[in-house]
Amino acid sequence: SNLLRVKQYWDAELAAEGMMELQLPSSSGTNGTWLVQQARFAIVRSMISRDDTWHPRYGVIPGYGISLQDGFQDTFTATATAALEWGAFPYARGVIENWLRYYVRDDGMV
């Protein structure tokens, strides 16, 4: 039902992004399938936590939830790197363009 539609949506979305397929072997210390799912779900979590597709949200209110912190460099770097490494180039491009547009000054300062 709805859970199946959500899975189908994200399967199609990640395929449209061109994300690589990955298989890791299971060993005595870990389950390779779970590690792959955790990595893919981290990209999905990044996608669903942004406003207007590209604008990052860093933290929650009260405390870290103010928009001043949305451009946190570590969040940008981790997101852009993960998207590039996984082959999600349209997503990576949107994240990078948004960050350059809203968080980098004309003189190159952050």
What pLDDT is recorded for position 98?
A: 93
Average pLDDT over residues 6-27: 88
96 versus 23: the higher-pLDDT residue is 96
Contact predicate 19/41, CB 8 Å: no
Look at 9 and 66; give whichever has higher pLDDT.
9
pLDDT at 92: 95
Query: Cβ distance 103 to 33 under 8 Å?
Result: no
Question: Which pLDDT does position 62 carry in this prediction?
Answer: 72
Q: What is the pTM of this model?
A: 0.80
Q: What's residue 65's pLDDT?
A: 66
pLDDT digits (tens, 9 = 90+) for 44-101: 888 888 888 888 877 777 766 667 777 788 889 999 999 999 999 999 999 999 999 9
Distances (CA, A) of 4 to 35, 66, 92: 22, 35, 27
